[in-house]
Amino acid sequence: MNGSILRIDIPRGTWMVDVYKESNDNGVYELVYPVKEASISLQKDHLYGFDYNIAAPKQTPFKLFLDDEVLVEGKVGESGYVRGSGVL
C-alpha cells in the first residue's frame, strides 16, 4: 500500500471528497468540511475513482491534490456549486 495525502486548497466554502476502489465504496468520505487534508492508502496497480462536491461563492478558486499532483483545478460557477469525478 502507498500512503498518500489528499488535500483541497480553497479559501472558503464547504466540500466533500470521496475516494473509492473500483466499484466498491466504504461509505466514508475522505475529506469533509472543515478538514482540508487526509492521509489515504492506495494499493499499487488498483484503479480508484473520486467524487467531489463543493459549495462556495461564485468565482471561488479551488484545487484538489493527491500528494503534489493537481487532480482538479477550477473556480466555482454562477450556481455556487461544483460537482465532479475522476480516476486515480
Low-confidence ranges of the chain (pLDDT < 50): none
pLDDT digits 0-9 by tens, 32-54: 999 999 999 998 888 899 999 99
Contact 32, 19 (CB under 8 A): no
Give the pTM: 0.90
**Residue 67, pLDDT score:** 96
Contact 21, 41 (CB under 8 A): no
Cα of first residue to Cα of last residue in the chain, in angstroms, is 14
